[in-house]
Structure 1
């Protein structure tokens, strides 16, 4: 019996070896698959955590953008009022001067110019800060990422301060140039309109459209004078100012500024800016419409835009209304005007794309 068993084993030895190898292979394959599955699950968990961390950082960055916009509006407002001082003309009118009509004509131009400039510059401030703070936000995310392993920061504090200080161009030379262009357009459109002439909301809208066309067409026809020029100076000027003795931080700042210019020159940016301008001027007209409404009585239905289409006011009465709009447009207290701009879906989407671009290791290593 033992002999026959041993003979059976000898005859089928190779089969037993093969079977054992198969069983061992299946076991090893199972262990390998289990290990790979665990690695995949750990990788997916790490990616989910990283994505959640980046999303949290992005949302926090957007809140910072909103607060920064609101905090800078008083400075912008004061700068506009300083260059377009309608209050001094109003004070002169109270003294009953002999050249009253001439002063009213000046007040007409200044009042509309500063409200239109306020719309332009506030829209520019919103979108420019969205670009700048999301670029720097992307760099900061990479600096705080575990993948950095304590290497040299991409955006040290000195670079952040130097880079973000470029916003002063919009509040300084850029604003002065914008005022010059807008004032010229307002003079051309409203210069010959009599102070006694009645204007409806539709008339105002047509005048604003003409002013915008002159401003934006004029920008497009001049070299280096697109709307983005008012937000950032020419690259050549910036480099010339720092032509000698560039530090490593200076070089990083220039790189950031050049990346920002690329964004400002992109079709997506111009689309978003135009959407903001359309919304801004629409809100400006909505604000003006409130003064065209007749006094409401309890039994009187609320006025609708259609019912106001035939309501008109003398231009002399519209001027003070237009003059005061700057305080609504450039208000640090969240107003309908600014909130409308901050809540535009295309602005949010564009901000997300900018952040995504500059929080990617591949993009930042270029």
Structure 2
């Protein structure tokens, strides 16, 4: 029997060798495939966890940015109000009858300049802070992944203060100067007695925006970042962060985004003014709900100004510029509070502007792209 078995093995030796090689190779291939599958699965899990951590960190950065914007907004409103103060003129108008016409002319310039400044300042505040804090957030996430600490708290503080202080002080003063000079040029040709429709108001804002475009849109950095500041810091990494910030602020995408924000802001102002082309119900002022007198439009609601359904055709209503000025001024004199959403009143221009820019998807997309670049 052993002889037969030996002869069988001898006759089929090659088959046994080949079969053994095939079985061993298959086993090795299966083990290799299983190992690569585990490695792939582990890589997928690591990438998923990393994306999740990065997304959570980005969302946390966005929440911090929103809180910072709302925290800075009251100070920005106060700064604009001080630079374009109308209270002194209003007080003098109540007592001085000799300079009344000159005072009204000055109030005309200030009212339109304040509305314009609110549009530009809020857009620049939101857009620049999104960029600034997402650059910091990206670098902080990279430090966490690489277990390094390139960004110290001192560097963060200096970086934040350099940009915020400039925008809230020198940058805002430059912005107001440019806006005021151009508003005065545009408004000189408009008499206080001139009748204006809502379309005329839109045209004025369009003219103002066009006039200041070459001074503001083409060099936005001057209002956000101090000139040459990124070359004058002792900390090398701080210089790099400031240089990176400058690169983002000077890119075409950021400039185009700000231009879009300015356009949206003027639309908000026009919508607010439009509320006062129709007489408020019960004679109450829509700005604050009290019974303070507002420009009357009762004469405007004649039959030729009504639509077929009996509603007022706002496009046919006109008001003297002298009656629009108090409206423009009142829109920018309301206080902005950030204690809760309930404190953001619907007719508060500052709140409406900042709310519009905070939820702006284009700004959020830019912020996400900035974070992605500097977190890798």
TM-score range (shorter-chain normalised) is: 0.7 to 0.9
SS of residue in 1 equivalent to 2:319: strand
From 337, 340, 344, give the equivalent of 2:360. Answer: 344
Q: Tell me the distance in 1 between the aligned counterparts of 2:328 and 2:310.
A: 23
Matched, 1:226 2:219: yes
Task: Specify whether residues 260 and 209 from structure 1 end up closer, same or farther in structure 2 by C-alpha distance, changes over 3 A only.
Answer: same
Q: Tell me the distance in 2 between the aligned counterparts of 1:351 and 1:312.
A: 42
Q: Tell me the distance in 2 between the aligned counterparts of 1:133 and 1:330.
A: 23
Q: For 1:57-136, list aligned pairs within 5 A.
A: 57-136=57-136
Matched, 1:214 2:207: no
SS of residue in 2 equivalent to 1:291: helix
Structure 2: where are the runs of 5+ without partners? 283-305, 345-350
Please give the per-residue CA displacement for 1:155-188, whole angstroms capped at 9, x wherever unaligned: 1111111111122111111111111111111111
Q: Tell me the distance in 2 between the aligned counterparts of 1:52 and 1:84.
A: 47
TM-score by length of 1: 0.87
Shift of 1:3: 1.7
Q: Tell me the distance in 2 between the aligned counterparts of 1:63 and 1:162.
A: 21
1:239 corresponds in structure 2 to 231
CA RMSD of aligned residues (A): 2.0
Task: Specify whether residues 303 and 209 from structure 1 end up closer, same or farther in structure 2 by C-alpha distance, changes over 3 A only.
Answer: farther
Task: Specify whether residues 261 and 50 from structure 1 end up closer, same or farther in structure 2 by C-alpha distance, changes over 3 A only.
Answer: same
1:47 corresponds in structure 2 to 47
Task: Specify whether residues 330 and 281 from structure 1 end up closer, same or farther in structure 2 by C-alpha distance, changes over 3 A only.
Answer: farther
Shift of 1:63: 1.4
2:303 corresponds in structure 1 to none
Task: Specify whether residues 33 and 90 from structure 1 end up closer, same or farther in structure 2 by C-alpha distance, changes over 3 A only.
Answer: same
Task: Specify whether residues 118 and 130 from structure 1 end up closer, same or farther in structure 2 by C-alpha distance, changes over 3 A only.
Answer: same
1:364 corresponds in structure 2 to none
Q: Which moved more, 1:323-332 or 1:200-209?
A: 323-332
1:205 corresponds in structure 2 to 202
Q: Tell me the distance in 1 between the aligned counterparts of 2:311 and 2:55.
A: 44
2:22 corresponds in structure 1 to 22
Q: Is the 1:118–1:329 contact (alpha carbons within 8 Å) kept by the matching residues of 2?
A: no
Structure 1: where are the runs of 5+ without partners? 361-366
From 187, 199, 203, give the equivalent of 2:184. Answer: 187
Q: Is the 2:132–2:245 contact (alpha carbons within 8 Å) kept by the matching residues of 1?
A: yes
Q: Tell me the distance in 2 between the aligned counterparts of 1:173 and 1:216.
A: 19
Q: Tell me the distance in 2 between the aligned counterparts of 1:311 and 1:197.
A: 13
From 322, 328, 342, give the equivalent of 2:328. Answer: 322
Q: Is the 1:118–1:330 contact (alpha carbons within 8 Å) kept by the matching residues of 2?
A: no
Q: Is the 1:185–1:215 contact (alpha carbons within 8 Å) kept by the matching residues of 2?
A: yes
Matched, 1:162 2:163: no
Q: Which moved more, 1:135-144 or 1:324-333?
A: 324-333
Q: Is the 2:278–2:314 contact (alpha carbons within 8 Å) kept by the matching residues of 1?
A: yes
Q: Tell me the distance in 1 between the aligned counterparts of 2:311 and 2:372.
A: 45
SS of residue in 2 equivalent to 1:309: helix
